[in-house]
Amino acid sequence: MYKRQVEDSERRLKFARRNLLPNLDVTVSADMGNTNVHSSAGEIQDNYSAGFSLSLPLERTKERLDLYFASQAVQQDKRELDYARSFVAQAIHVSINYIKKLESQMEIQDLIIRSGNKRSAAAQFLLERGKASSREVIDANTIRINAMNQKLDILLDHYLAVLRLKHDMGILNLEEITSASTAKL
């Protein structure tokens, strides 16, 4: 969108520059009679003329103002394009950092799940030996299940963040995916 605006502004600037040039008009005309018929004097009656006019106006205030405004519009549109590019680049960096953060959280959740598995197995072992209560086994299993649920939430957030990043980068078109999935239903 911004790139097209810059191209349009540059075209308008080109036309504004062209309007400041002198005007040159060329005229050519031909008046031809029947070439097979000769006049009584034996001459063919064809008339040809060519001419040009060159106009060098002294007052070009409107054209100079148009050129100035067109030049300013090109500069403004280029600034907006640069801003949009930097905004997109910054958004992509933020998305990548968020994805990395989620990946780190998944690794931590994996450690918590492994620890919860060991704690649950130890509590079950101690319960069988009569050295722990069923409450301790339930607490250990609750911690393990909560960690697994938390990891699933992080996995979902990660998946959505990757999709969002692909969409922002123009790699993925969500409308096509949505229409394809609704067509299957």
Q: What pLDDT, in 10s, does the model give residues 35-61?
A: 555 555 555 667 778 888 877 777 878
- Predicted TM-score (pTM) of this structure: 0.58
Amino acid symbol at 157: D
Is 173 inside a domain boundary?
yes
Please say if the pLDDT value at position 21 is more than 60: yes
Is 37 inside a domain boundary?
no
Long-range CB pairs of 151-157 (<8 Å, 24+ gap) are: 151/106, 151/109, 151/110, 151/113, 154/102, 154/105, 154/106, 154/109, 155/106, 157/102
Please say if the pLDDT value at position 169 is more than 90: no
**What percent of the chain is modeled with pLDDT above 70?**
87
Segments forming the whole domain that contains residue 180? 2-30+47-184
Is 83 inside a domain boundary?
yes
Is 20 inside a domain boundary?
yes
In this prediction, residue 45 carries a pLDDT of: 65
The domain tally of the chain equals 1
Please say if the pLDDT value at position 180 is more than 70: no
Query: Domain holding 166: CATH number?
Result: 1.20.1600.10
Q: How far is CA 129 from CA 8, 124, 125, 126, 181, in A?
A: 82, 9, 6, 5, 54
